[in-house]
Structure 1
Amino acid sequence: MSQRHVVINGRRIGPEEPPYIVAELSGNHNGDIGRAFALIDAAKAAGADAVKLQTYTADTITIDHDGPEFQLQGGLWHGRRLYELYEEAHTPWDWHPRLFEHARSMGIDIFSSPFDPTAVEFLQELDAPAFKIASFELVDIPLIDQCARTGKPIIMSTGLASPTEITEAVSAAKAAGDGGVILLHCTSGYPTPPEEMNLRTLPHLAQAHDVVPGLSDHTLGVTVSIAAVALGACFIEKHFTLSRADGGVDSDFSLEPHELERLVKESREAWLAMGSVRYEDVPSEAASRDCRRSLYVVADVAAGEAFTPANVRSIRPGHGLPPKHLPEILTKTASRKLSRGQALDWSMVG
């Protein structure tokens, strides 16, 4: 991929850097700003690079309407009215300055997903270092354009989007600004079964669109995210809560602090394990080299005696001739008297 990295608040994000881990707070504050502060603290303690908010009100994301089109069918929120759900889940705008200040004081990045033009303007006032476009908003090209024109990095999720819609969104972001694009493979199921993630799409997205790739992961647990890192994901976003038992609109598919800590640790280990194309020995192999197989004298041999499978074998350790020479050795004789346990070398072969 030729777009090698994107920078958020001074942190480089790309294949040459450890994966950037984002804890999505969403509505898991449960209407309590103290809990929102605690979520930020817990994300920092777990090693996450950033926390993310969602900046909307029920009135900026939908309208108060009782029609069937405004009621959710199926899934986690079946039967709920959109307006009612977003009224419960939104993060009050008057919390934002305090949350941004708190995160910055804790040394963890903070940004948000805007859902309308007023939210973009508001987040600009807070000097948000990046903008996240949610999957359902990927088709809102004017919103993407407004975010990109700030010059900040744009992170976009692809859940539900067709290839054409993804191309249109990426093209709009690149045309409007130069902050860079991070494109997150995403399946918009809440939660998503692992078999519906199709992670092999991730490197294809990166190559097709010349972007830094990542994953917005709504599966349970951390396995899928770690697998995504092995496929090149540079950015991982997971919903985060203090405890699923506390409830909340997104709690069912959110990580708890010990799980987020595991995600941070294991995703970075996966990234380290990717390494580079290499066939040479590495330091940890030094002690193992002597344990490879080689040719040894396994029974005493008189000078001039023929080598046979009874007196020469391929065994461990590896100080003798390579085993590939055994067929040739078995056509030769000993150049001198040899003792059981000697590593065979060419000077012993007549």
Structure 2
Amino acid sequence: MKKIEIAGRPIGNEYEPYIIAEMSANHNGNIETAFRIIEEAKKAGADAVKIQTYTPDTITLNSDLPDFQIKGGLWDGKTLYELYEWAHTPWEWHKPMFEHARKLGITMFSSPFDTTAVDLLEDLNAPAYKIASFEAIDLPLIRYVAGTGKPMIISTGMADAEEIEEAIAAAREGGCKELAILHCVSGYPAPAEDYNLRTIPDMMERFGLVTGLSDHTLDNTTAIASLVLGASLIEKHFTLDRNGGGPDDSFSLEPADLAALCRDSKTAWKALGKVDYGRKSSEQGNVQFRRSLYFVKDLKAGDFVVEDAIRSVRPGYGVAPKEFDKLVGLQLREDVNANTPVRMDLLKRRTKP
């Protein structure tokens, strides 16, 4: 699959990288902050803003038993229910958020975490769906999303090759025609050395899908590097302020960082170009500064060229230096002055006695 389209925007290696700003929980419970995140993503040049659609009751159970306790990391000491109560995007916000995005001209879609979330997003005419890494093994959910007929992106953090194949098969079985996958490390944040970006071209060959990166590192280096290896889309968490104190703020990009990602990813993609050994337009003016052969002595018509009569020097208006040995011993057709370029029309071959 060479490309997919989301809201009319083609995504694939032949197109500029598709940049997704993941809002996640970075609205921190304030819809005005959510609106500002959408606005800043648009200003930065992102192609899309992604949100997450769940409630604590649709994603976990309200229990403080050991299975539901978070130990270590950013959210140490909370139960899963407490985390998702804190982090979720209220469902009544979805419609005004989608309307705000449409008004600004930026695409918005979401990660649904159960079938009721899909139904809500369908009512809002979401143009695509993202399956989060933790849900990549929820094959019934993938089939349900596929049944919408919309493009789908599956994040593969924690999934092995067999599980990725199963997720892809479920999407196909459900009727998904436009499918992309994201290489991902589900650490928050994730160290760059965990990313093993050489996996991306292997995924492209193994699964034959548009492939991208869900990047949880703290800067843009890993994301830009992924483009060189074939990534067509990049997802990064996005916030107004890394010090905002929300669940995901600390490992998210701020507006200036997102703008840099949007700018630099396009530059990197353009730099990849194609296989081309020809002279480039930016080089044309510098051809004159290459080396060539020049006469370094005054010579008369009928003289023979000897080795110390010509030299390889800059600029490049004379015969190429590779012709040096062939020119030695040739006879001049006319007088030449020192410091003038060697031209083949000035020379004739030595005639045998």
Asked if TM exceeds 0.5, the reply is: yes
Preserved CA contact (<8 Å) 2:239 2:255:
yes
Q: 1:36 aligns with which of 16, 34, 37?
A: 34
Q: What is the aligned partner in structure 2 of residue 255 from structure 1? A: 253
Q: What is the aligned partner in structure 1 of residue 306 from structure 2? A: 307
What is the letter of the counterpart of residue 323 of structure 2? H
1:183-226 Cα distance to aligned partner (Å, 9 max, x none): 11111111111121111111221221121111101111112111
Closer, same or farther: CA 311–149 of 1 in aligned 2, 3 Å:
same
Structure 1: distance between partners of 2:191 and 2:312:
50
Preserved CA contact (<8 Å) 2:239 2:252:
yes
Closer, same or farther: CA 115–86 of 1 in aligned 2, 3 Å:
same
**For 1:203, what is the secondary structure of its paired residue?**
helix
Q: What is the aligned partner in structure 2 of residue 106 from structure 1? A: 104
Structure 2: distance between partners of 1:64 and 1:208:
40
What is the letter of the counterpart of residue 292 of structure 2? S
Instruction: Write out aligned runs for 1:142-181 (5 A).
Output: 142-181=140-179
Of stretches 162-171 and 271-280 in structure 1, the one that deviates more from structure 2 is: 271-280
Q: 1:215 aligns with which of 213, 216, 220?
A: 213
Structure 1: distance between partners of 2:295 and 2:78:
80
Q: 2:265 aligns with which of 264, 267, 281?
A: 267
Instruction: Write out aligned runs for 1:169-248 (5 A).
Output: 169-248=167-246
Q: TM-score, normalised by structure 2?
A: 0.94
Q: What is the aligned partner in structure 2 of residue 16 from structure 1? A: 14
Contiguous gaps of at least 5 residues in structure 2:
none
Structure 2: distance between partners of 1:276 and 1:236:
21
CA RMSD of aligned residues (A): 1.6
The alpha-carbon deviation at position 336 of structure 1 amounts to: 4.0
Preserved CA contact (<8 Å) 1:185 1:213:
yes
What is the letter of the counterpart of residue 43 of structure 1? A
Q: TM-score, normalised by structure 1?
A: 0.95
Structure 2: distance between partners of 1:344 and 1:71:
83
What is the letter of the counterpart of residue 327 of structure 1? D
Identity %: 51
Q: What is the aligned partner in structure 1 of residue 119 from structure 2? A: 121
Structure 2: distance between partners of 1:246 and 1:23:
17
Q: What is the aligned partner in structure 2 of residue 89 from structure 1? A: 87
The alpha-carbon deviation at position 11 of structure 1 amounts to: 1.3
1:159-202 Cα distance to aligned partner (Å, 9 max, x none): 11100000110111122123311111111111111121111111
Preserved CA contact (<8 Å) 1:149 1:176:
yes
**For 1:295, what is the secondary structure of its paired residue?**
strand
The alpha-carbon deviation at position 333 of structure 1 amounts to: 5.1
Of stretches 194-203 and 29-38 in structure 1, the one that deviates more from structure 2 is: 194-203
The alpha-carbon deviation at position 130 of structure 1 amounts to: 0.7
Structure 2: distance between partners of 1:121 and 1:76:
31
1:97-140 Cα distance to aligned partner (Å, 9 max, x none): 11111111111100100011111111111111111000111011
What is the letter of the counterpart of residue 306 of structure 2? F
Structure 2: distance between partners of 1:199 and 1:8:
25
Q: 2:129 aligns with which of 131, 135, 143?
A: 131
Structure 1: distance between partners of 2:333 and 2:113:
85
Q: 2:60 aligns with which of 36, 59, 62?
A: 62
**For 1:246, what is the secondary structure of its paired residue?**
coil
Structure 2: distance between partners of 1:207 and 1:75:
35
**For 2:217, what is the secondary structure of its paired residue?**
coil
**For 1:129, what is the secondary structure of its paired residue?**
coil
Preserved CA contact (<8 Å) 2:304 2:329:
no
1:205-260 Cα distance to aligned partner (Å, 9 max, x none): 12211211111011111121111122221111100000112221111111111111
The alpha-carbon deviation at position 293 of structure 1 amounts to: 1.6
Structure 2: distance between partners of 1:12 and 1:149:
21
What is the letter of the counterpart of residue 244 of structure 2? D
Structure of higher CA gyration radius: 2
The alpha-carbon deviation at position 332 of structure 1 amounts to: 4.1
What is the letter of the counterpart of residue 245 of structure 2? G
What is the letter of the counterpart of residue 245 of structure 1? N
Structure 2: distance between partners of 1:281 and 1:335:
33
Of stretches 24-33 and 229-238 in structure 1, the one that deviates more from structure 2 is: 229-238
Preserved CA contact (<8 Å) 1:152 1:177:
no
Structure 1: distance between partners of 2:297 and 2:221:
53
Total equivalences in the alignment: 347
Preserved CA contact (<8 Å) 1:183 1:206:
no
The alpha-carbon deviation at position 334 of structure 1 amounts to: 4.4
Structure 1: distance between partners of 2:272 and 2:33:
37
What is the letter of the counterpart of residue 293 of structure 2? L
Structure 1: distance between partners of 2:274 and 2:344:
37
